[in-house]
Structure 1
Amino acid sequence: MLVGIVAKRGNKRASFLAADIRDRLREADVEVWLDEATAGAHDESGHPVDAMDACDLVVAIGGDGTFLFAARGVGGTPILGVNLGEVGFLNALGPEEAVHEVLREAVALENGELSVREAPRLVAAGEGWESPAAVNEIVLQGPQRGRAGGVDLEIRVDGSLFSSGRADGVLAATPTGSTAYNLSEGGSLIHPDVDAIVLNEMCADAGMPPLAVGLDSEITVRLTGAPEAHVVVDGRVTRSPEPPTTVTVRTADTPVRIAGPDAEFFEALNKLE
């Protein structure tokens, strides 16, 4: 059995907890990989996060950002999230219970009893390219936010025109991501048990309200009227095609697999500011 650990960069508390979990797992004869940054803080060799799809379980220690960072590299490997602050939507564990829960999950994994829940991811694709998979959202936008940096959009769902006009961009969010960037842009909350993608235009001149569509929907966005466009996956610019260009957004083939106890959705909602 192989367990990977990814800790928040530059965070001493995360690094200390990672070392504690590493030691306890090794005492239980579990092979452990640390990501490169965490391993460097403890004077041992580490592994790139992109290689951790070889693990049976990955522990992400830090917060939702650390979870998303780990998720970009681990493929379908289950991720157990440990939040050093408030328990979030992706990280159901607090630091006080982390060591015990990781050991419990390792035993369950060894016995073939690991319970995971799956959440959809999204990918964007254009001519000759496909983006990494997004846990939260994919944003298609102009060169910058604001009236001087927008882009002309034509948005279609399964071939039917949904909206067109000038906007800062358009955001497609998973149920998990509906509580993140989408929410700050006035988008709808989606309960994690609902199979939907939220389409949300960003500061549109005359746009449509946010729309929830099925996970099997194909979203096609034509971008024109700007010197460049950006494809932003979970907050990271991954592609900058030159308009006019067409980008398709769909559900990824591999979902994110989340280990550990379920986050209580409505309790977590009450902690949003």
Structure 2
Amino acid sequence: MDVAVGIVAQRDNERAQELTESLVGALADERDGVDLVVDEATGRAVDATAVPVDAMAGRDLVVSIGGDGTLLFVAREVGSTPILGVNLGEVGFLNAVSPENALAVAVPLVERLRRGDELEGRALDRLRATGDDGWSLEPALNEIVVHGPRRGHGGGATIEIRVAGNRYAESHVDGVLVSTPTGSTAYNLSEGGPLVHPTTDALVVTQMAASDSMPPLVVSPETELTLSVSDAETAFVISDGRNRRELEPPVTISVSLADDPVTLVGPRTNFFRGLEKLE
């Protein structure tokens, strides 16, 4: 059967472009059964059909070549489309495949798809922030952050945290962060939140520089979480550090699981080996 494959390489990364060329060449023998495209930026350097990344949604497989940031970007654009991550970054909690093994992993996956076999994948939960007036942000694979006008002295807000309708904490804070297990090693960790093993079914709620702090709280993913912001002229809600919305307090934000998780295929990363690379 025909297989639709997309490749997204880290922008302005010569090594990523070279690896993309190698993958395109390795799949050339399968070209009769492979509909192969690359992202538009890579298409200017590699001889392959180029399309916007969001046009790869719904393909059988998308290969992300870069760091975890590249995979986060790809996940935002292609939703639940299966992703294989090739790691060119320092840590690589999301990208399990080394550049040296990229061909040895990607080509057999495409061959399996051509045979009509399903790929074994693992679903990673994403979070969605919504407001009472109907707005919502793009889903976050790592975290949702709600904060005041700015970080630091005089820039915070009062944020009340409710868990399943019960008040957990209310304090003047720089912000509040809700993290998935995937994101526990990122912003959450830098704010004093716990490390969460990626197979754990949980979310983490962490206050940021609270005047009257409570410990970070681990809850079930299905838990209803609301963050009510007051005592500030403006506030922001941010998804994975990229998509943001400005708010006018008082305002309440709900954080819940998104309907469409990210699907990773291929080998699993070694969580504990990744921890060794953290500074």
SS class of match (1:143): coil
SS class of match (2:188): helix
The answer for the alignment partner of 1:55 in structure 2 is 59
The more displaced of 39-48 and 160-169 is 39-48
TM-score, normalised to structure 1, is 0.96
**Where do residues 68-79 of structure 1 align in structure 2 (5 Å cutoff)?**
68-79=72-83
SS class of match (1:129): coil
**Where do residues 20-31 of structure 1 align in structure 2 (5 Å cutoff)?**
20-29=22-31, 30-31=34-35
The more displaced of 196-205 and 233-242 is 233-242
Counterpart CA distance in 2 for 1:33 and 1:44 is: 6
Indicate which of 215, 234, 237 corresponds to 1:228.
Answer: 234
Question: Would you say the 8 A contact 1:132–1:233 is kept in 2?
Answer: yes
1:12 maps to a residue whose letter is E
Question: Would you say the 8 A contact 1:182–1:188 is kept in 2?
Answer: yes
2:17 maps to a residue whose letter is S
Deviation at 1:36, TM superposition (A): 1.2
The answer for the alignment partner of 1:255 in structure 2 is 261
Shift in CA distance, 100/236, structure 1 to aligned 2, threshold 3 Å: same
Deviation at 1:269, TM superposition (A): 1.3
Question: Would you say the 8 A contact 2:137–2:243 is kept in 1?
Answer: no
Counterpart CA distance in 1 for 2:243 and 2:118 is: 38
Q: Does 1:121 align with 2:121?
A: no
Q: Does 1:36 align with 2:44?
A: no
The answer for the alignment partner of 1:18 in structure 2 is 20
Shift in CA distance, 227/253, structure 1 to aligned 2, threshold 3 Å: same
Question: Would you say the 8 A contact 1:85–1:94 is kept in 2?
Answer: no
Shift in CA distance, 114/140, structure 1 to aligned 2, threshold 3 Å: same
Q: Which runs of 5+ in 2 are unaligned?
A: none
Deviation at 1:113, TM superposition (A): 3.3
Counterpart CA distance in 2 for 1:225 and 1:43 is: 55
**Deviations for 1:93-132, whole angstroms, at most 9, x for unmatched residues?**
1100001211011122233231111111101001221111
Indicate which of 247, 269, 272 corresponds to 2:275.
Answer: 269
Q: Does 1:203 align with 2:209?
A: yes
**Where do residues 124-273 of structure 1 align in structure 2 (5 Å cutoff)?**
124-126=129-131, 127-273=133-279
The answer for the alignment partner of 1:64 in structure 2 is 68
SS class of match (1:130): coil
Q: Which runs of 5+ in 1 are unaligned?
A: none
Counterpart CA distance in 2 for 1:19 and 1:187 is: 40
SS class of match (1:108): helix
Question: Would you say the 8 A contact 1:50–1:74 is kept in 2?
Answer: yes
Residue-pair matches, total: 273
TM-score, normalised to structure 2, is 0.94
Deviation at 1:40, TM superposition (A): 2.1
SS class of match (2:27): helix
Question: Would you say the 8 A contact 1:230–1:237 is kept in 2?
Answer: no
Q: What do you get for the CA RMSD once the two structures are aligned?
A: 1.3
1:5 maps to a residue whose letter is I
1:122 maps to a residue whose letter is L
Q: Does 1:106 align with 2:113?
A: no
Deviation at 1:44, TM superposition (A): 5.5
Deviation at 1:41, TM superposition (A): 2.5
1:188 maps to a residue whose letter is P
